[in-house]
Structure 1
Amino acid sequence: MNALLSLHDRAARTATRLAPEALPLIARFSFAAVLLVYFWNSARTKLGEGPFGFLSPSDGAYIQIFPKAVEAVGYDVSQLTVFHWAVVTAGTLAELILPALLLLGLFTRLASLGMIGFILVQSLTDIWGHGVGGDDLGRWFDAASGALILDQRLMWVTVLLILAFHGAGRFSLDSLLAGRRIPQIP
């Protein structure tokens, strides 16, 4: 029994020693494998025509982000305000830029926090704007693990929290840039 406990302790020490290097890489890989294309495809549906399409978002962008406001103006998005345009434009840019920063490991902690905020706003919009509820909303601490909002998005946020706490790790632009900084005198 002591040999088994000793083996367990050695394995645990090794895992603890490797965690600061492994967790950020695993989290960035998981984000890229599961969410990168999801967010980029979502952003593409919001882009208007041409190279500056992010400045003239599609009608679908307004419908996705402000469903009740768009319905209130009879689906004529030209009646919406500059506030609506600014939020839709910022949201579209966030969906394009923040995942790219996470993929590259550049400004990873800030990008992770930005993505967490984005996911919270996205979830609230789905719940109150689009009326998502029931099984799609889900419940924590139940037998079902596939609810679109509470279950899946908690997992997304958990991956992003690893990056917010640990940073991008050794294999990132953050690490490369940190090695080039001039040391500060205390």
Structure 2
Amino acid sequence: MSAPRIHGIVLSGVGGQGVLSLAQIVLEALRRSGLHALQSEIHGMSQRGGSVHAQVCFSEGPLTSPIIDEGSADLLIALEPLEALRYVSMLRMNGHLVVSEEPQINMEGYPPIDDVYAALKAVRGAHLLDTEDLARRLSHKQAGGMALLGMASRFLPVSPEVWQDVITQRFEAKGARVTEKNLEAFQAGRGLIQETVGA
């Protein structure tokens, strides 16, 4: 009998965007769904503005390492467009990319943003989101990350109920309003992708 397939998720962004928080939510949701899941350490500079990425692996069977080989990730969640390009080579052929269109110009020589968008749109399975516009419509400045997670949730074997529970527990210490705003952003993102696809 063949061993259960190992699935990989890469999360990328810059320091201060909440990459680690998203990775921890994903990890907890997968574990609560009865899967084995491991998260790598955050790579890169976690201070505000530095490049950051994390990896989460999951499987129906036990895992020994959270490290994903190049070209084998099922999903890339990118909170910043140039950071998405930095890690797009991690995706397998039929993988999915959910990415914020909002650039964080944190370096000299940042390429023309239209060139970045064009390169991302050329990636098969790419889903771009204008997180700035969404945040404005939801009156929630930090809506982008949770909306991207909502989009990504369509490609993960986790029920809506589990996502709701994990997100609620993550934010409940910050009060009902913050929790509600994050759940609203998650649902807005999830609603942007209609089909549910297995990872």
Q: Normalising by the residue count of structure 2, what TM-score does the alignment of the two structures yield? A: 0.27
Larger helix proportion of the pair? 1
Return the index of the structure with the highest Cα Rg: 1
Larger strand proportion of the pair? 2
Q: Normalising by the residue count of structure 1, what TM-score does the alignment of the two structures yield? A: 0.28
Higher relative contact order (CA 8 A, sep 6+): 1
